[in-house]
Amino acid sequence: MPTTVMDARTPAPAAAPRHWAIVGGGMLGLTLAYRLSQAGEKVTVLEAAPSLGGLASAWQVGDVTWDRYYHVTMLSDARLRALLEELGLEQDVRWSVTKTNFYTGSSMHALNNSIDYIRLPVLGLIDKARLAATIIYGSRIENGRPLEQLSAEAWLTRLSGKTTYQNLWRPLLRSKLGNNYAKASAAYIWSVIRRFYAARRGGLKTEMFGYVPGGYRRILATLAEKLQAGGVTLETGMPVTAVTSSGNGFQVTAGEDVRHFDRVVNTCASPIATKVCAGLNDRERLQHEDILYQGIVCASLLLDRSLGGAYLTYITDETIPFTTVIEMSTLIDRVETGGRHLVYLPKYLPLDDPLLGASDEEVEAAFVPALLRMFPGLARENIKSFKVTRTRHVLAVSTLNYSEKLPPMATSIPGLYIVNSAQIVNGSLSVDESVNLANEASAFLIATEQVPTGTAAK
Ligand SMILES: Cc1cc2nc3c(=O)[nH]c(=O)nc-3n(C[C@H](O)[C@H](O)[C@H](O)COP(=O)(O)OP(=O)(O)OC[C@H]3O[C@@H](n4cnc5c(N)ncnc54)[C@H](O)[C@@H]3O)c2cc1C
């Protein structure tokens, strides 16, 4: 709740230090606040939810508190690991080798080594060799921007062949993007291949995933302490409804509360940012509106038995209503989950999909029978808790020529910035990329603000 109150009609005194409002207290907004405060700026974070963290926040399922959405850290997450180091948490990260399954044609297959891969049905040996070559080739491409000119479908068909595209890539793309799969550029799938391949120790071999004991709840609490120690004001339960130019700064409205800030950075998804920020010109508004978002519905389940030991089950069977199965407790210590087995069933969805508006009971009715079908040893009685979270604007799909169409961080209104995860180009949605974006944005904001207002670089 508010800890500082200023009258909106009173302009900030000329000699007062510059005061920034960061709208959105997810990992991006918090890291940005951290960097700006390290640069000597005065910062207040305004977060709509009752707690910080956004997609990375924790919640309670049964008597277990863990991340609302599943999160792992990868060995290659250099920017996130550097932040964890600054927070004194990096040495606590626990790394594990995880197992992977592949569910296709109504049957489950292990996918942990080259032999599993050779045995995998659906594809012949030549197709498998082309698929492996596609992954190795994709993982070696450093700059994904040229791939924005090609559709994922065209690129994957060319590299892996028609059969592999139809039987494997297309169902995987569809499970993540729904009918938007046809609009995704090759850069989208390249960024996914690159992130996952980087976690492997070699070829199509074992993966190393990590987590901080205590999960993101602990990371966020440590980050919040560090921010407050550095003078940052953190306010939760503050849904910002308007940001309006006022004198040399901005009037920021959150519920009944109206404040004056000198600079504002909105880190929310584009549809929220443009709704809240008054006075944007048509061009930038259209640029934001043009971004194609996917939503997500994600169920957390507590089971009294394991599903079998794989962290991740890829699904190409289009009769299954969720995207993957994540058995988190194969990675994290079961002390974290009170001895239960924590499983996530995510479903990424286009924004017009009715499942985004479905009740927990409706999601349960759609998901549980499919899970029981996939894991015949599992019975309904083994499911001790089932809870659903949903977010509308989660993933900005990298469409054709994506980075050329993206709005810049600086808006046409001097001192007002929109910095959000849609601006992650050349990478997939991850905390590592969010931290990187915050690092880059803070450097840009500081440099821009050294230029007299009105001549700021865009
Ligand atoms: C299912 C899933 C799995 C994931 N798995 C991983 C993983 O394994 N590893 C990994 O590194 N990353 C993972 N990620 C990605 C990671 O969660 C994101 O990259 C990161 O959390 C994004 O942070 P953000 O601050 O940009 O966005 P958000 O977390 O969405 O933060 C935006 C914040 O703005 C707030 N807000 C919205 N409107 C307003 C308003 N009007 N006023 C004030 N505040 C407002 C929201 O409440 C929210 O807190 C995963 C994401 C999902 C969805």
**CA 149, 440, 419, 25 torsion-angle sign:** positive
Is the CB of 54 inside a 6 Å radius of any atom of ligand 1?
A: yes
Domain boundary among 204, 226, 250: 204
CA nearest ligand 1 atom 27, residue: 26
Q: Contact, 81 vs 88, CB < 8 A?
A: no
Regarding the beta carbon of 226 and ligand 1, being less than 6 Å apart is answered no
With respect to residue 120, please indicate whether it lies within any of the assigned structural domains.
yes
Binned at pLDDT 50, 70 and 90, residue 192 comes out as: confident
Work out the pLDDT band at 216, boundaries 50, 70, 90. very high
pLDDT tens readout for residues 295-328? 999 999 999 999 999 999 999 998 999 999 999 9
Q: Is residue 377 part of a domain?
A: no
Residue the block writes with tokens 């901080």: 212
- What is the domain range of residue 409? 19-50+236-291+402-449
Same domain? For 36 and 181 the reply is: no
- Residue 210 near ligand 1, beta carbon < 6 Å: no
Same domain as 196, residue 123: yes
Centre of ligand 1 to C-alpha 27, Å, is 7
Verify that 23 and 159 share a domain, yes or no.
no
The response to whether residue 410 sits with its C-beta less than 6 Å from ligand 1 reads no
Mean pLDDT throughout 115-144? Answer: 89
Does a structural domain hold residue 199?
A: yes
Instruction: Say if 442 falls within a structural domain.
Output: yes
Domain end among 156, 181, 204: 204
Which whole number is the average pLDDT over 219-238?
Answer: 98
Q: Which residue has the higher pLDDT, 194 or 126?
A: 126
Q: How many domains does the chain have?
A: 2
Q: Is residue 426 part of a domain?
A: yes
Residues 197 and 241 in one domain: no
C-alpha separations of 437 from 27, 48, 228 in Å: 10, 21, 22
Which residue's CA lies nearest to atom 13 of ligand 1?
Answer: 430
| 193 and 243 within one domain | no
Residue 1 covered by a domain: no
How far, in Å, CA of 172 to CA of 458, rounded? 37
Choosing from 298, 429, 439, 442 the residue with most ligand 1 atoms within 8 A of its CB, the one to mutate for a pocket test is: 429
Task: Identify whether residues 156 and 32 lie together within a single domain.
Answer: no
Q: Say if residue 282 is in the same domain as residue 424.
A: yes
Question: In 10 A of CB 274, how many CB atoms?
Answer: 22
Same domain, 252 and 177: no
State how far the alpha carbon of 223 is from the alpha carbons of 183, 230, 232, 393, in Å: 37, 11, 11, 24
What CATH number does residue 147 fall under? 1.10.405
With the most atoms of ligand 1 within 8 angstroms of its CB, the residue from 27, 32, 55 to mutate is: 55
Give yes or no: residues 174 and 28 share one domain: no
Indicate whether 95 belongs to any domain.
Answer: no
The mean pLDDT of the chain is 91
Does 257 lie in the same domain as 195? no
Confidence of residue 16 (pLDDT cuts 50, 70, 90): low
Q: Could you tell me the distance, in angstroms and rounded to a whole number, from the CA of residue 25 to the centre of ligand 1? A: 9
In sequence order, the β-bridge partners of residue 324 are 314
Could you report the per-residue pLDDT of 131-164, keeping only the tens digit for each? 999 988 998 898 999 999 999 999 999 999 999 9
Question: What's the order of all strands across the beta sheet hosting 257-261?
Answer: 240-246, 249-254, 257-261
- 8 A C-beta contact, residue 24 and residue 422: no
Give the domain-ending residue among 154, 181, 204. 204
Q: Which of 30, 68, 81, 268 to mutate to test the pocket of ligand 1 (most atoms within 8 A of CB)?
A: 268
Q: Are residues 152 and 272 in the same domain?
A: no
CATH number at residue 441: 3.50.50.60
Is there an atom of ligand 1 within 6 Å of 69 CB? yes
pLDDT of the residue at 200: 58
Mean pLDDT across 413-425: 96
Same domain, 285 and 243: yes
Classify residue 371: in a domain, yes or no. Answer: no
451: three-class secondary structure by DSSP: coil
